[in-house]
Amino acid sequence: MEVKDASTQMFFSSMSKGVHVWENTYVVSRPGTYEAGIATVQGAYTPEYSAHSASTTLEVAN
């Protein structure tokens, strides 16, 4: 896992066929409306195999 300012990158040595779910926990210190970006998956040696998710909006209340 590599955490950067605008992204978090995860690396896997192998991945089987099927549906995979990744979950991360974050702490939000201020209420407001936040936009979560897309998640992108791409093969290191086969970049033509890739997929992405939709973005979503997160509403944080007091």
Tokens of 46: 């086969």
Q: What is the pLDDT of residue 47?
A: 87
State the amino acid at position 45 in one-letter form: Y
Helix (H) or strand (E) holding 42: strand 40-42
Contacts of 1 (CB under 8 A, 6+ apart): 8, 9, 10, 11
8 A C-beta contact, residue 58 and residue 33: yes
Query: pLDDT 10s digit of each residue in the chain, 62 long?
Result: 898 888 888 888 888 888 888 888 888 899 999 998 898 888 888 889 899 999 999 999 98
Q: What is the pLDDT of residue 15?
A: 82
Q: What is the pLDDT of residue 31?
A: 95
Alpha helices in the chain (DSSP H): none
Q: What is the DSSP letter of 48?
A: T
